[in-house]
Copies of this chain bind each other. A is one copy, B any other.
Amino acid sequence: MSSQPPLPLPPWLPPQLSQSPSPTLHALSTSLLPHLLTAISQIGASLRTSHHVALAGSANLFGDDQLNVDVSAENAVRAALAKCPLVVTASSEEDPQEKEVHQGGEAAAAAAAASDERFSVAFDPLDGSSIIGANWSVGTILGIWKGETALGKSPKEQICSILGVYGPRTTAIVAIREKPEDAGLCFELGLDDSGCNIELVRPNVRLSSPPYKTRYFAPANLRAAAESPSYAELVASFIREKYTLRYSGGLVPDLGHILTKGHGVYISPVTRASKAKLRKLYELFPVGLVVECAGGKAVDENGRDVLEKGVEGCDERGGIIFGNTDEVEEVVKVLLG
């Protein structure tokens, strides 16, 4: 075992987490989080100069440019994971198979031997390919699981998720919940392109409680309402009730909007004609943890908590409804009766 003194906690960690952290939280916040946040900074910096994705968006003639943005984001996250000896396996939306991160590296083996902590990471390196050409905000989604795999596990083992948001600035929304019975904490960090400066912008991101000043809705896959009378009725009721529409079509910015305003409900239904599109491991589980840690609710297309049931494979998909608890419950009533 190592006799080195433990690494200090980073200064941007919310005060609530800095008092006598568990070994798991200590490992998370001194190793995984700093490296993964650096990757998010790097992805943000690289997007700043990726002017040719606009061509990909418009014509699909330059598919390689589009692909390059995804690949460069994937590489940034993989490089960060390679620096985290406690991460055993990882899988991503771009390469949806869980694989070992360190193949017999001595340094990694030595560092891992000094700790009992083990993690698995599931991520979507760049979510929002349909809107990046238009220069709309996009994101990175990362889910961190306790243990050596995310497959066949309860999503309660997913103890942290990180959403990188690339817009006019680069921000990260982080949720941490070590034990299922904890409330968890969601906080927002401000990053810069150098990756050297991280600022704690909102130490405790919480959704509001009713009554709400302004109410927002984000109806994904709205075309499904053409075949689903209940979805059509739901949308009509939002209009009647004068909810404000905000729907970018990017899962990360759409969630970020709800967390910033303290209110909103996002609906991505599954109907007979439109199949489930969102991947549980790379999208629904990390989003679910963020929403719950912010005091909201996230359910699947059947109205069950998205974090109730894990996956056996990397490609399982589903629908989602998330936002303020009362709004989600109301939507479930209308959609599922």
The interface of chain A, by Cβ under 8 A from chain B, is 44, 47-52, 54-55, 57-58, 131-138, 165-171, 188, 190, 192-193, 199, 201-202, 219, 222-223, 225-226, 232, 235-236, 239-249, 253, 256-257, 259-262
Contact = CB atoms under 8 A, between A and B. Distances in A.
B138 A261 contact: no
A46 B188 CA distance: 19
Nearest to A44: B168
A226 B242 contact: yes
Contact of A246 (B51, B193, B243, B248): B248
Q: How many protomers of this protein does the assembly include? A: 2
A249 B249 contact: no
Contacts of A192: 48-49
Contacts of A236: 232
Contacts of A131: 246, 257
Contacts of A52: 201
B202 A55 contact: yes
Given A48-B168, A223-B243, A246-B247, 8 more contacts: A54-B201, A134-B167, A135-B256, A136-B167, A136-B168, A136-B256, A219-B245, A226-B242
Nearest to A258: B134
A167 B167 contact: yes
B239 A226 contact: yes
A239 B222 contact: yes
18 contacts: A47-B169, A49-B192, A50-B169, A51-B199, A54-B260, A55-B201, A55-B202, A58-B202, A133-B261, A134-B256, A134-B261, A135-B165, A136-B248, A222-B244, A222-B245, A225-B239, A235-B239, A246-B247
Nearest to A245: B222
Given A134-B257, A134-B261, A261-B58, A47 B168 contact: yes
Contact of A137 (B50, B168, B245): B168
